[in-house]
Amino acid sequence: MRAVVTVTGKDKKGIIAKVSGFLAEKGVNVEDISQTLLQDYFAMIMLVDISDLKTELSELAKECEKLGNEIGMSIRIQHEAIFNAMHNI
């Protein structure tokens, strides 16, 4: 099972470390990552394996949002199937 994590906001040091460390603690493995800077703004998309997730995906989504608020970023996670369905025309 896989999911897509998006992280956006004003660039600052340690974003990738904080997000990937948080996900690792929850049993989530990062399979692929893409990140870029658009002037002062940071944008990252991660494809993650949630097979060993230690909680429900909905609970993890709430925790991601909370972490995002703490570090001043927007962090969202969606199951891969939902992400694909939303982005297919």
pLDDT band at 16 (very low <50, low <70, confident <90, very high): very high
Strand partners, 26: none
Half-sphere exposure of 23 (CA within 13 A, CB side): 29
Note the pLDDT tens digit of each residue in 61-89: 999 999 999 999 999 999 877 766 666 66
pLDDT at residue number 87: 64
**Residue 23 pLDDT more than 80?**
yes
Asked if 59 and 66 touch (Cβ cutoff 8 Å), the reply is no
CA 8 from centroid of its chain's CA atoms: 9
pLDDT at residue number 81: 73
Note the pLDDT tens digit of each residue in 29-72: 999 999 999 999 999 999 999 999 989 999 999 999 999 999 99
The beta strands (E) that lie in 1-89 are given as: 2-10, 29-38, 41-49, 73-79
